[in-house]
Amino acid sequence: MVTHIEFDVLRNAAATAMTRAYAPYSRFPVGAAAVTAAGELITAANVENVSYGLGLCAEVALVSVGVSQGSLEGLGGEGGKRLAAVAVCDGDGRRLTPCGRCRQVLLEFGGPELLVDGVDGPRPLGDLLPDAFGPADLDRVREL
């Protein structure tokens, strides 16, 4: 299990991933990098589409890559197959904080303790997405 997060490594990996972004419409390339609790590095970039709503944020692409390669499992997954930390950057290498949609997706694969890099340094996702909707909300409805 990861005990120390090298955010400089994550930031550099996010910047490298950003160079592979497909952003011809917004011209706003974004890269994301994460480390799992088992120490695996995952990277991805945003992928736009002419039908704007079909584009993928780098963070959502990152989760898709991690699940596809067997590095990530959702909330019920093993401890090592969870996100431990994530860094996101723009085309100039500046740190970006994930949008609300991406925060919700990251929650599913890292939980509220996931460390999210930002301008003021890393913060737990639970601080960025308080009172988040999650499986417990669905379980409550199923019990009725």
Mind telling me the catalytic residues?
A: 59
Q: How many whole angstroms separate alpha carbon 54 and alpha carbon 91?
A: 21
β-partners of residue 44 are: 32
Radius of gyration of the chain (CA): 15
Asked if 29 and 45 count as a contact pair (C-beta separation under 8 A), the reply is yes
Q: What token pair was written down for 71?
A: 């590095």
Q: What token pair was written down for 118?
A: 């930002």
In single-letter form, the type of residue at position 32 comes to A
Q: How many whole angstroms separate alpha carbon 79 and alpha carbon 103?
A: 19
